[in-house]
Structure 1
Amino acid sequence: MHATPTRRPLTLEDTPALAELFAAVEATDGTDEHYDAEDLADELGDPHVELPHDSVGVWSGGELIGYARATGLPDATDVHLVYVEGAVRPDARGQGVGTDLVKWQVTRAAQLHHERFPDLPGEAHIQIHAPNTAKRDLYEGAGFQARRWFFDMRRPLDGDGIPVPAPAGGLRVVPFTAAYDDATRSAHNEAFRENWGHTPATADRWRHGATGARSFRPDVSFLALDGDEVAGYLLSHEYDAETAMTGVRECWIDRLGTRPAWRGSGVATALLTSCLRAGQEQGYRRAGLNVDSADANGALSLYERCGFRTLHTWTGYVRPL
């Protein structure tokens, strides 16, 4: 006889149970995403998530069988975005757990939006792995619509050395240093200002998810400088859980951008190839990244020219709030 499921907010002490849930989901869904408890503690520690209000776990007999989270961004321009996520253990699917969690997400996302930016339009966003048709149907049934497609791309780093062309105009490509941290954040906000779904990164969110993250690797991260000004940047991460699970060191290119005034100067190509060569020299066996397939600045074609190929497709779903 199965225990009746119970719900309560997640706490940081729940990260081992959440890691077990993620492992069970990955074994069935095959997204090539691997997390350990420390990774999940980092995620739950997002400075803009209040776990008692912004998370929920579903428990059965002491086992976490489902979870959901909502993150309302602290800033907005034309639209206020709330990102939602969630998962259900494969052996607990088909019992209404996912339906209840999506209802919770929509309710909490609407609350966050109306608390923070009631005078702006609001949207709930989620990315769904394209082969997961059951999850797609669940969210479409709750009013989400497909709006954008994103590709996980990878490139092997074995073989011959990777040439690094210099950018035009006397720009220098140098390793990332903390002295340029806030200037890099500002450059990122400017570079992605017109991109779909972008909200400017605050200093605390930047430190948490970018240069202050446990996974951040400054030795495979680079800046393009014009004098002392950041014209472009590339920030890389390495995830210990991924390496432990696959036995392959992967350099994950998390952020790459060029400020508008320097586009067309070869900045992105120089940064990317500098990262790939450094990764190759430091023993990484592959590089990976995620890209918006409709990026207006030609990011997809750049990555394809540099040897990246698509491995997974994710669909960005949106629901008005």
Structure 2
Amino acid sequence: MRWWPGGAAGDLVRAVEVAGRIGARYADLERGSLAAFDGDTMIGYVKIRFKPSADEVHRVFLDGGVHPAHRRRGFGARLVEAGVAAAKVLHARHHPGRRLVVDVHRPGHIAGLAELMRSQGFEPVRYFRRMEHTLRDVSPVRARIEPWSQESDDDFRRVRNAAFEDHWGAVPMPTDLWRNKIVNQTFRPEISFLHREATGAAAGLLVTMSWDADTEATGIRDAHFMIVGTLREHRKRGFATALLAHALRAAAEQGYDRASLVVDPASPSGASGVFERAGFVPEARYIRWALET
């Protein structure tokens, strides 16, 4: 087996989406990515993404995987070890005065993942739920809601940053990261909305993504609500509920088969209850593993 600088992006994505992800400014492919090969065949990879800003803690995200035919042979452990070493290098370059935490975010059902993470010193620190909505029996809603546009894009970003200030692990997204991570090839502007209060000030947002490769592989066209947020001073006034109803209706009208999202049940916004009342049901659990160095 040999190792090679490079890396690739994760689950069921097209080449153009991979190119966008690995070309991200906060990926640093030279120092933060490796691919594992068996002969000329790539069998695994690891890629590190560091944060553009940090408070007391700098969370570095480790992404990667091993081809199913090559699992249970120690390759995953070697990739994680290499990823942690790369995370330390990037941390020292960008946030040397902060405390480093390496994060891995993965579905809880992956066989052998828990054993691998614990063997490398990682511990589960947060649990998330994937929730889905079948898009049946969705009704229109009356509210001051507008679709995404180039003119309102910065309002979307600023509302996202302010709405997630009190959320675990969240940091502000500068413009370049917003454009790479959110407004990219998987972004669906026709199902992304801003809620304004009577004065015209933006109070909440909903951002939708969809992956064509997932649709091709599963036959299910999924509208994934990547971001749903309301400014703290506007919470518990029905803004999130109105955004969800509006987006569900739009997704149904545009031929999507379902909507989905991932929620932190411990979120201070009470998002889980809002999503359940909107008709979303839990389908899978995700675990955030962390290694403090």
TM-score bracket relative to the smaller structure: over 0.9
Matched residue of 1:58: which SS?
A: strand
1:274-285 matches, cutoff 5 A: 274-285=246-257
- 1:109 counterpart residue number: 87
How far is the alpha carbon of 1:163 from its aligned partner?
Answer: 4.2
Q: May I ask how many residue pairs the two structures share in their alignment?
A: 292
Contact 1:165 1:269 in 2 (8 A): no
Alignment deviations for residues 79-103 of structure 1 (CA, whole Å, 9 cap, x no partner)? 1110001111121122221111111
- 1:197 counterpart residue number: 169
Alignment deviations for residues 44-87 of structure 1 (CA, whole Å, 9 cap, x no partner)? 12121111211000011211111001111120112111000111
Alignment deviations for residues 4-63 of structure 1 (CA, whole Å, 9 cap, x no partner)? x1101116xxx6xx7xxx6xxxxxxxxxx5222222222212121111211000011211
Matched residue of 1:257: which SS?
A: strand
Counterpart amino acid of residue 218 in structure 1: P
Contact 1:73 1:80 in 2 (8 A): yes
> As a proportion of its length, which structure holds more helix?
1
- 1:220 counterpart residue number: 191
Equivalent of residue 164 in structure 1, options 141, 164, 167: 141
- 1:7 counterpart residue number: 3
Equivalent of residue 130 in structure 1, options 105, 108, 133: 108
Contact 2:191 2:251 in 1 (8 A): yes
- 1:169 counterpart residue number: none
Equivalent of residue 258 in structure 1, options 227, 230, 249: 230
- 1:27 counterpart residue number: none
Q: Does 1:88 pair with 2:70?
A: no
Equivalent of residue 154 in structure 1, options 108, 113, 132: 132
Task: State the distance in 2 between where 1:76 and 1:309 align.
Answer: 34
Q: Does 1:35 pair with 2:13?
A: yes
- 1:29 counterpart residue number: none
Equivalent of residue 302 in structure 1, options 262, 274, 282: 274
- 1:65 counterpart residue number: 43
Task: State the distance in 1 between where 2:15 and 2:102 align.
Answer: 26
Task: State the distance in 2 between where 1:154 and 1:165 align.
Answer: 23
Task: State the distance in 1 between where 2:96 and 2:191 align.
Answer: 41
Task: State the distance in 1 between where 2:284 and 2:242 align.
Answer: 26
Q: Call closer, same or farther: CA 1:216–1:43 in 2, change over 3 Å.
A: same
Between 213-222 and 89-98, the greater mean CA deviation after superposition? 89-98
- 1:142 counterpart residue number: 120
TM-score in terms of structure 1 length: 0.87
Q: Does 1:210 pair with 2:188?
A: no
How far is the alpha carbon of 1:285 from its aligned partner?
Answer: 1.3
Contact 1:125 1:319 in 2 (8 A): yes
How far is the alpha carbon of 1:133 from its aligned partner?
Answer: 4.4
Contact 2:138 2:245 in 1 (8 A): no
Q: Percent identity?
A: 33
Matched residue of 2:151: which SS?
A: helix
Contact 2:60 2:103 in 1 (8 A): yes
Task: State the distance in 1 between where 2:29 and 2:160 align.
Answer: 28
How far is the alpha carbon of 1:200 from its aligned partner?
Answer: 1.0
Task: State the distance in 1 between where 2:138 and 2:276 align.
Answer: 18
Matched residue of 2:92: which SS?
A: helix
Matched residue of 1:195: which SS?
A: coil
Matched residue of 2:152: which SS?
A: helix
Q: Does 1:289 pair with 2:261?
A: yes
Task: State the distance in 2 between where 1:312 and 1:43 align.
Answer: 25
- 2:210 counterpart residue number: 238
How far is the alpha carbon of 1:165 from its aligned partner?
Answer: 5.5
Equivalent of residue 98 in structure 1, options 76, 79, 86: 76
**Cα RMSD between the aligned structures?**
1.6
Task: State the distance in 1 between where 2:62 and 2:289 align.
Answer: 10
Contact 2:106 2:287 in 1 (8 A): yes
Q: Structure 2: where are the runs of 5+ without partners?
A: none
